[in-house]
Amino acid sequence: MGAGHSHGHGHTHGHGGTVTAAHRGRLLVALGITLLVLATEVVGSALTDSLALLADAGHMATDAAGIAMALLAVHIAGRPANERRTFGYARAEILAAVLNAVLLFGVGAFIFAEGISRLITPQHFDGGATIVFGLVGMVANTVSLLVLMRGQQESLNVRGAFLEVMADALGSLAVVVAAVLFLTTGWRQADAVASLLIGLLIVPRTWRLLREAVDVLLEAAPKDVDMAAVRHHIEGLKGVEGLHDLHAWTITSGMPVLSAHVVVSQEVLEEVGYERMLHDLQGCLGAHFDVEHCTFQLEPVGHAEHEARLCH
């Protein structure tokens, strides 16, 4: 039956909710806490004239927007696949992570600009009240960190939220330290320095988040999948004569995909059959690599050259 006999596919995947969807409740709790701290710090900044508090409030506003986008993306990603979008809308979560990073860069730029301005022209602020509002932010952000701790290892969106809240907690600490320095030494620039430190906390983590999200969009191999090791394991199976068109990429957080054309000797194919060969391939990857969805095309020796001639 020609080429039809030389093809087989194996799938090790059960489509369900995305990894981020499993942590929807944690994101909702973090969003509520973030909005509460945001409102508190805006009021605190107005009462104390502290730029550090305002900078932290601006970061909080971006965090709230980022978490809200993550939750919206979870909702969109839950829509079923169709003829046009065969993997569904799972990539919506990655797009949300990119937008989140862009917003964070904007906040960082604003904080740097205001911080430098106040470093040059220091302003008076109420140190005692600033300490109180900063401590409120530290406590609330610590609670959010504990809520998000588990999910940040599994989802880019949850990790983005976790990193933002971590920066917020450190930012609140910087606010408190700046206020203490002002009260004990009278150094007005402490507020501006704390603001610049908050900006420095934002940028590296944001860059890391953006880079990981862009890697997914560019369909780079998952960072925890060693392609050379995958190739070695497949080629080590009995009857495998060669391997080509090996690809691995990520649809969204926690959903890696792999496909490959596996050249198998005709004798082994006749001996064990296509189904057993596919089971062996799936078992090989399942035992050594965490790949959610695998597709294999089995080919007899010489089929790749036949395909190449047809293409030309």
**pLDDT digit string, tens, across residues 123-164:** 777 888 888 888 988 888 889 888 888 766 666 667 777 877
Exposed, middle or buried: residue 218 (CB in 10 Å: 0-12, 13-18, 19+)?
exposed
Mean local confidence (pLDDT), 211-238? 87
Range name among 46-50, 137-141, 226-230, 250-254 with the lowest pLDDT average: 250-254
pLDDT-based confidence at 8, cuts 50/70/90?
Answer: very low
pLDDT given for residue 44 in this prediction: 86
Give kind and range of the element (H or E) at residue 288: helix 266-288
Mean local confidence (pLDDT), 271-291? 79
Convert the pLDDT of each residue in 172-192 to its tens digit.
888 888 889 989 998 888 888
* pLDDT value at 6 more than 80: no
* pLDDT value at 15 more than 60: no
Q: How far apart are CA 167 and CA 148, in angstroms?
A: 14
pLDDT given for residue 154 in this prediction: 65
* pLDDT value at 208 more than 80: yes
pLDDT given for residue 147 in this prediction: 84
Query: In what order do the strands lie in the sheet containing 240-250?
Result: 240-250, 256-264, 293-300
Convert the pLDDT of each residue in 24-53 to its tens digit.
788 888 889 889 888 988 888 888 888 778
Mean local confidence (pLDDT), 221-240? 86
pLDDT-based confidence at 263, cuts 50/70/90?
Answer: very high
Contact 298, 264 (CB under 8 A): yes
pLDDT given for residue 17 in this prediction: 54
* pLDDT value at 13 more than 50: no
pLDDT given for residue 261 in this prediction: 92
Mean local confidence (pLDDT), 280-299? 77
Please, what is the average pLDDT of the chain?
78
Mean local confidence (pLDDT), 77-100? 78
CA distances 138 to 14, 118, 165, 181, 199, Å, are 41, 24, 10, 18, 17
